[in-house]
Amino acid sequence: MATGNRCPFPVGCVRLHFLRWDPNDMSRSGRQGDHRRADRSLIARIDQAFVDLPEIRPGADAYLHRLAERGWPDGGPPQESLRQVVVDVAAELYRDQASPPVELLEFSDGAFDVLFDAAHQLTILMHGLSQSTLPNSRDRNYHRGFPGRAGFDKGHAMSHAQGGREGGPNYFLQAPRVNRRLSPLGALWRDIESYLAANPGLFCFVRLAYPREPSTDVPAEVEYGVMAERQFRTVIFPNR
């Protein structure tokens, strides 16, 4: 049985401007039913976190550099240009650290698009537009029954509240202190999810970065990217 982020079904398919965080800035739970539109700025929340939390760092420069090469040095690029740049950069970063062979596929899981290495059975990237979900529509029995691993949560790259599906490539082995509100890191992760759940139609992505050695299906880092308030940010979280 696949674990974490491994895909359990055949997959033959194919600056913006850079404040102190007010704990009232964002809704706190990130759970189904807590989808109030955030009154405060997600971008300001992220930028202040870069000051306050030494374990995270921004990762947007790689994407902005590629966008500049394509003629978009400032402002919000067309969505398709940003999407393709995110896929290209994620693929290059993965190839740089992965042991051959690498067989990258792109497909949809029915909610978000996936970049997947079929050779190593690893999800590299989940991306797409945040979506609204119906209340009480999460399949909790499936989630409880999906294989897990001691010391890790069955993390969602894209949370159910923002339109993500249960299982398949959307699952990965995630450190509990990042997946839950057990620390400032988890509070930031959940605030991003809550904002996306409350604001459908925003481009977002999660990139899973694996260590060069040893070979493992546990990401060393997880990058969360979002285009919000006409600005682009990414946050690289540790996964330990």
Rg from Cα positions in the chain: 17
Measure the CA–CA gap between 101 and 188, rounded to whole angstroms: 36
Distance CA(162)–CA(62), nearest Å, equals 26
The larger pLDDT score, comparing residue 71 to residue 141, is at: 71
78 with 70: CB under 8 angstroms? no
Q: Which residues pair with 125 in a beta bridge?
A: 115, 207
In this predicted structure, the answer to whether residue 221 has a pLDDT above a threshold of 70 is yes
Q: What residues are paired with 207 via a beta bridge? A: 125, 223
- Bridge partners (DSSP) of residue 153 are 174
Q: Taking the model in full, what pTM does it have?
A: 0.81
Q: The tokens of 74 are what?
A: 């400032």
**pLDDT one-digit tens code per residue, 91-123:** 999 999 999 999 999 999 999 999 999 999 999
> CB–CB of 138/9 below 8 Å?
no
pLDDT of 30 strictly over 70: no
Helix (H), strand (E) at residue 105: strand 104-108
Q: How many residues does the chain have?
A: 240
CA separation for the pair 219, 211 (Å, rounded): 7
Quote the CA–CA distance of 63 and 83 in Å, as a whole number: 10
Top-confidence residue, 138 or 193 = 193
Residue 235: burial class (beta carbons within 10 Å; 0-12, 13-18, 19+): buried
φ, ψ at 138 (rounded to 5°): -75, 135
Structure tokens at 194: 């809550």
Query: Per-residue pLDDT averaged across 161-174, rounded?
Result: 91
Phi, psi of 204 (to 5 degrees): -150, 160
